[in-house]
Structure 1
Amino acid sequence: MKSLYNHFERNIFRFRFGVIGLFLLITAYLFVHATQIRLDASFEKNIPLNHEYMKTYLKHQQNFGGANNVLISVCNTEGDIFTTDFFTTLRGVHDQLFFIPGVDRIQVNSLFSPSTRFVEVVEDGFAGGPVIPADFDGSVQDLQVVKANIEKAGIVGSVVSDDYTCSMVKTSLMEIDPQTGEKLDTLKLAKQLEDEIRNVYEKDGISIHIIGFAKMVGDIADGAKGVVTFFAIAIAITAVMVYLFCRSFTLTILPIACSLIAVVWQMGVLSWLGFGLDPMSILVPFLVFAIGVSHGVQMINSVSREVANGNNPKQAAQLSFRKLLIPGGVALLSDTIGFLTLLAIDIGIIRELAIAASLGVALIIFTNLFLLPVLVSFVRFDQEEQKQIVETADHKLMARLLWKKANIVTSPKPAALIIIVAALLYFWGQYQGQKLKIGELHAGAPALHEDSRYNQDTFLITDKYAISVDYMSVVVETFQDSCIYHEVLDVVDEMQWRMENIPGVQSAVSLASIAKVVNSGYNEGNQKWKVLSRNQQSLVQSIARVPTTSGLLNRDCSAMPIILFLEDHKAETIDRVVAAVKEYRQQLGTDKIQFKLASGPVGVMAATNEAVAEAQTPMMLYVYGAVILLCLISFRSIKATIAVILPLYVVSTLAQALMTYLDIGLTVSTLPVIALGVGIGVDYGIYILSTMSQRIRAGESVPQAYLAALKERGSAVLITGLTLAIGVSTWFFSALKFQVDMGIMLTFMFLVNMLAAIILLPAISAYLWRDKLKK
């Protein structure tokens, strides 16, 4: 193996021009594909399709509508809705939404929908019709008729706002665009909602408020365009920091260029494989760039030192390649396999993120461990100048901070103190981490800031209407024509009553509750008759008044949803409601009557939260299992593996505590950050310990090995940690709330993992190799 490795190494540097030519061809080819990559968002990618709740959701989606809805509230800012101009605008919004490709036209509902009807009790029984008559022309008389019909229809708080200043137009979206036969382009639809509805119909006196998954993703995609600016700022900061470290424009440009090539390769391969880039994973290319720079700085640091030791550029590059290929390759393979473990999570967006991140990191092996040393071998160095730069860098960066005091970190008593402090921080982090909540912790769309247009629209709709936009359907699955049997509807009614009394449930509606209202109407509106009739003929008469378009029953009456409107979609609210449904269905359900969770937007959130909770522990086991295995293979030492893993685990625990402190929930967007943090942090430890373990095996003491590791790798580790932390800290000013959260988390991980590698790792090593404390 050693002979094969040496042969491979010699050929890499013997045919340097061929290697560079090959990389140029691959880069040009993948660059073309990279320019064709597009943002790709899909509702189904964000949900665990194989979860029990989602199977129920997909089974009944056609009958009861999906959770991928669009809600448009048209509001009169200068009075109530009963004006000719308002109804002209409302009709225009309804018609325009109806004709947007991808909209489920059957589900389009507003005051102008034929299915929006009123029913009133008259002397002969019932009378009714469309809320807006067919001959409506907007006259004052017609407006008065419509107002009366709205009150009779009982749609105040749902279709019309409580204060009569707004009216709702809503629909569901298809997954397939009927015009193209392809997957619905969610981002295109979001733009159409802006261009064809808000920009056209919002005018003086009329405001348009749009919410729904498609609109939210569209706003996130618009905000994600700012990521390019932050990427450019991060590159500039990185360039300045690397230049201050190496004092060479050429050595500054090369690692940054190679890291950017890795990003181009990543985007090109993703496009070539048919993947798009989801707005929620738009930050992955930066992480690839960051990891690439981390390894690139190690390479130029090693080459600089070899040149200062008297080697020519080619020899220095070849020696650095020999030194860093194994530890760098192991670190990058650890990252790659760690990210691949995210594939175990059955949520499309996380799996795509896993593929994108692992692919990008794997490509860094080629661009930064192969191409970079070959390119550096052509750089002309002044050996005396380089020697002076290295000595000056050593002195300025570390001498005053740690190097002259290296023995303190690896001395028994200080090392014990460091380990005790780390243990205390770990137990504190573990305690705080247990408080980490699964799911969203804030109202509105958590990916966006509270003052964003989307969240302001959400808050307005929530305030104006009595029925919350956060609802969940519990589907009652039973036998055909079951709704004409009193014993079935009575169980449904009992379940609804129990759920209405759960804290967090604002209101509920089902076929049973509507049937009681209809029965009362047949008896002169007497409230004493607001019950489910035990007479089957009377019950049939009540049910007949409820059409299937109401979404309260399917065609053969074998499925009936109980729709629960919640106060919010916070994690604790969802957990409480889901737990209550599970408890009561055990008490009320039978072989013939089964209560199935769940449909509606909150049903999707509940399934996602449970999938995230189930994946959290296995994901961490897979990540650490992969890192441990590769460390064992690389170092062939249990002690060395422990020294790398323990600091990493402490930082991961503290990261979860930080999420609790900052009120950040564990969601689809934040779960991968923990795995990404492990992948980023392991690099520091592997580089430091690779030198330490070699020196210890050669007979040096732990303090001597640590001092040598700091001189050889410490400067690069310190510069990399600081540079990347400063780069991601600029995300604090992003228009996207989730990018701000990720910026905080990654800044913490970059800095604390770096500090753990240069302080905690040697302290642990001092006790693992106690027999090597003194030479």
Structure 2
Amino acid sequence: MVSKFRHAITHRLHQGEEWIFCNPKIVLSIVLAITLMFGMALPKLRIFTDFSDLLPQNHEYIKVYNRLKENFGGANMIVMAIEVERGTIFNDETLKLIHEATQGVDNLPGVNHNLVNSLTHRTARKVFLDDQGGFASESYYDPLQPSRTVAELEQLKQEVIANPTIFGLLVSPDLKAALIKAQLNEGDIDYPTTFAALQEVREKLAKPGHQIHVTGNPVLTGWVYTYLHQIVEILAYTLALLATLLILYFRRFYGVALPLLGIALSSIWGLGFMAMMGINLEPLSLPIPFLIAARATSHGVQLVVRYYEELARVHDGPKAARNAL
């Protein structure tokens, strides 16, 4: 039963092979039509990062995440650290710097202002009993008070250490660094603009004795966008090098044209299909064209080499092509 099935499949494949080589114009017309269809869709392709595209939206965990992210924050976050080289952060200069960094991050485009966390932000508050025995709260840092006494700074330090939601989370256990966390509104985020504004804030905050570190998915994506033109240049140089190597190896038109044509067709079909399906081209996936070029070149070179070997043996172009396949 299995052998009959295999025989039927083999027979159908041979029939398909026969039809393809007997109707080359029809086959080429079909390939050209498909290429034109995908090529016309290429202008719709967007090089854009949508953080939600990276998550399996049908998974139960992601459904819960999507339901809660507006109130409790998500994973698309910018984290900035202000670190002192000597002493602790509890001095007027460093506290002012943390406040300026918090304001700068809070003013970035696309930031959810209610989901910014920092020692000097309005959301970081200390709770205490007032004179009437009720609960009261106030911010740890008052920007209208430019300087503090040594006793006030020591009191602030002890209050921070006593708060487990601040100490160890927004202030490092050694008291030498403070974090500023900001959640971005997911959607059509302009990563290049946000990254450029963040870099401008970082440059303005640069001061002797302090180190500023920035991380997070938006920062990574921003760096990718920054070097996007260099990635395209590398791709162009790669194609030029491939063409040069093919010319030196084959010294024939078909030996150069067919592998490059394979690269072009596979790229147009793949990217065109993405555009038609509404799939964004993630900048982090830009190395994929290099992989496509490598695979297409490898298969193309093998087929062309095999074709020329068969052509030298049978001295018949169509028959050599069929034998090569």
Letter in 2 for 1:70: I
- Paired residue total: 307
- Per the alignment, residue 200 of structure 1 pairs with 204
CA distance in 2, matches of 1:271, 1:147: 59
What is the SS of the residue equivalent to 1:108? Answer: strand
CA distance in 2, matches of 1:19, 1:45: 33
Q: Does 1:255 align with 2:258?
A: yes
- Per the alignment, residue 156 of structure 1 pairs with 167
> Deviation per CA, 1:197-253, whole angstroms, max 9, x where unpaired?
22332343433211222223334555676654654565466446545653x152442
Q: Does 1:301 align with 2:305?
A: yes
CA distance in 2, matches of 1:205, 1:278: 38
> Deviation per CA, 1:665-709, whole angstroms, max 9, x where unpaired?
xxxxxxxxxxxxxxxxxxxxxxxxxxxxxxxxxxxxxxxxxxxxx
- Per the alignment, residue 322 of structure 1 pairs with 322
Q: Does 1:62 align with 2:73?
A: no
> Residues 306 and 95 from structure 1, CA distance in 2 versus in 1: closer, same or farther, beyond 3 angstroms?
same
Letter in 1 for 2:322: R
What is the SS of the residue equivalent to 1:274? Answer: coil
> Deviation per CA, 1:499-538, whole angstroms, max 9, x where unpaired?
xxxxxxxxxxxxxxxxxxxxxxxxxxxxxxxxxxxxxxxx
- Per the alignment, residue 411 of structure 1 pairs with none
What is the SS of the residue equivalent to 1:106? Answer: strand
Alpha-carbon shift at residue 258 of structure 1 (Å): 0.5
Letter in 1 for 2:279: F
> Residues 300 and 322 from structure 1, CA distance in 2 versus in 1: closer, same or farther, beyond 3 angstroms?
same
Which of 49, 64, 72 does residue 80 from structure 2 map onto?
A: 72
What is the SS of the residue equivalent to 2:111? Answer: coil
What is the SS of the residue equivalent to 2:109? Answer: coil
CA distance in 2, matches of 1:146, 1:42: 43
Alignment of 1:191-270 (within 5 A): 191-194=196-199, 196-220=200-224, 222=226, 227-228=231-232, 231=235, 234-235=238-239, 238-239=242-243, 242-243=246-247, 245-246=249-250, 248-262=251-265, 263-270=267-274
> Deviation per CA, 1:466-519, whole angstroms, max 9, x where unpaired?
xxxxxxxxxxxxxxxxxxxxxxxxxxxxxxxxxxxxxxxxxxxxxxxxxxxxxx
Q: Does 1:168 align with 2:179?
A: yes
- Per the alignment, residue 131 of structure 1 pairs with 140
- Per the alignment, residue 21 of structure 2 pairs with 9
Q: Does 1:184 align with 2:189?
A: yes
Which of 291, 311, 323 does residue 287 from structure 1 map onto?
A: 291
Alignment of 1:454-603 (within 5 A): none
> Residues 119 and 239 from structure 1, CA distance in 2 versus in 1: closer, same or farther, beyond 3 angstroms?
same
Alignment of 1:325-474 (within 5 A): none
CA distance in 1, matches of 2:35, 2:136: 76
Letter in 1 for 2:156: N
> Residues 321 and 202 from structure 1, CA distance in 2 versus in 1: closer, same or farther, beyond 3 angstroms?
farther
What is the SS of the residue equivalent to 2:114? Answer: helix
Letter in 1 for 2:36: I
Letter in 2 for 1:75: E
Alignment of 1:51-130 (within 5 A): 51-77=59-85, 79-120=87-128, 128-130=137-139
Whether the 8 Å contact between 1:119 and 1:152 is mirrored in structure 2 is no
Letter in 1 for 2:155: A
> Deviation per CA, 1:377-429, whole angstroms, max 9, x where unpaired?
xxxxxxxxxxxxxxxxxxxxxxxxxxxxxxxxxxxxxxxxxxxxxxxxxxxxx
Whether the 8 Å contact between 1:187 and 1:214 is mirrored in structure 2 is no
Letter in 1 for 2:171: V
Alpha-carbon shift at residue 170 of structure 1 (Å): 1.2
Q: Does 1:26 align with 2:30?
A: no
> Residues 52 and 25 from structure 1, CA distance in 2 versus in 1: closer, same or farther, beyond 3 angstroms?
closer
> Deviation per CA, 1:66-118, whole angstroms, max 9, x where unpaired?
23322211233455434554344333322232232321111112233223222
CA distance in 2, matches of 1:172, 1:149: 26
CA distance in 2, matches of 1:310, 1:240: 29
What is the SS of the residue equivalent to 1:107? Answer: strand
Where do 5+ consecutive residues of structure 1 fail to align?
Answer: 177-182, 328-775
Whether the 8 Å contact between 2:72 and 2:115 is mirrored in structure 1 is no
Alpha-carbon shift at residue 184 of structure 1 (Å): 2.6
- Per the alignment, residue 727 of structure 1 pairs with none
What is the SS of the residue equivalent to 1:209? Answer: strand
TM-score by length of 1: 0.34
Report the aligned-residue RMSD: 3.9
Where do 5+ consecutive residues of structure 2 fail to align?
Answer: 1-11
- Per the alignment, residue 57 of structure 2 pairs with 49
> Residues 129 and 310 from structure 1, CA distance in 2 versus in 1: closer, same or farther, beyond 3 angstroms?
closer
> Residues 233 and 249 from structure 1, CA distance in 2 versus in 1: closer, same or farther, beyond 3 angstroms?
farther
CA distance in 2, matches of 1:259, 1:4: 21
CA distance in 2, matches of 1:227, 1:145: 53
CA distance in 1, matches of 2:191, 2:137: 38
Whether the 8 Å contact between 1:120 and 1:128 is mirrored in structure 2 is yes
> Residues 309 and 84 from structure 1, CA distance in 2 versus in 1: closer, same or farther, beyond 3 angstroms?
same
What is the SS of the residue equivalent to 2:185? Answer: coil
Whether the 8 Å contact between 1:131 and 1:146 is mirrored in structure 2 is no
Which of 274, 279, 282 does residue 278 from structure 1 map onto?
A: 282
Identity between Structure 1 and Structure 2 (%): 24
CA distance in 1, matches of 2:287, 2:217: 20
CA distance in 2, matches of 1:50, 1:4: 40
Alpha-carbon shift at residue 5 of structure 1 (Å): 6.1
